[in-house]
Amino acid sequence: MRLKSNTIFITGGGSGIGRGLAEAFHKLGNKVIIAGRRRGHLDAVVAANPGMAALELDIADPASINRTAKKLIKEHPDVNVLINNAGIMQPDRAAGKMDDALLLATIDTNLIGPIRMTSALIEHLKAKDSAVVAYTSSVLGFVPLALTAVYSSTKAALHSYALSQRFMLRDTKVRVLEIVPPWVRTELMNSEEAEQAMPLNQFIAEAIGVLGTDANEIVVAAAKTLRDNAGPTEHGFVDAFNAQMLSLFREPQAVAGIGQMATSIEPEIQSGV
């Protein structure tokens, strides 16, 4: 995608990967508008980046999506890039009774929300040059983490949707991209201090480099092994991956901030943008 001279709308831009992308694009000279539920987080990002703008948005609420889309187009008619980044990640109980509120919140936020947001802006984007719709999925969409089965499933579904939408928009001005992060040091699952996770600034720098190419999938080096796993041997790979991760989660000192999840895996423990 073009890295400069865009007007970029990023959901979940108040923290984590969303904020990292917003600040990187801002430094490159783009007009950046961030959106999210937490006004305080949005205000902090805008204050730290003069010239950036913010809109409140609840990605799980269709009325909020429609309202925000109309306001965005009215106030920033040149918007030509949408980055669907907002998401939540919660431990769940695939081996037992699933918490229904957790289930619906995760699907609404991670899958239905991005589809609705894109739907609300797609006709506008079709009329713009160098238009882009990007989705932040995850390597867990290719190799699911059993402790977060619903989250992993939403990311797999988002990948599938991006493939279909890319095909359907093949004769338009709109490119459909998928950003595929590995484990990154963000608020999700209290991973800011996790040594095994990729530093956020390193991920952003590498991702921006790949975004500047013709790639449809933005896969940094640390994500390639998991992204490329799909195939006839994937079941053994997934089992081995989850056995390794479960052993980490059983040793709180090995993964700073996530040890509590290892032993309790309570649905109410959550973090998102």
Helix-helix angle 16-27:39-48, to 10 degrees: 30
| Spatial distance between the Cα atoms of 174 and 157, rounded to a whole number of angstroms | 21
List the catalytic residue out of 151, 161, 183, 203. 151
Cα 117 to its chain centre, rounded Å, is 13
Q: What secondary structure does DSSP assign to 87-122, as a single string?
A: -EE----TTSPPPHHHHHHHHIIIIIHHHHHHHHHH
Q: Which of 37, 5, 47, 3 is nearest to 21 (CA)?
A: 3
Respond yes or no: is residue 151 known to be catalytic.
yes
Phi and psi angles of residue 136, each rounded to the nearest 5 degrees, phi first = -90, 110
User: What is the set of active-site residues?
Assistant: 151
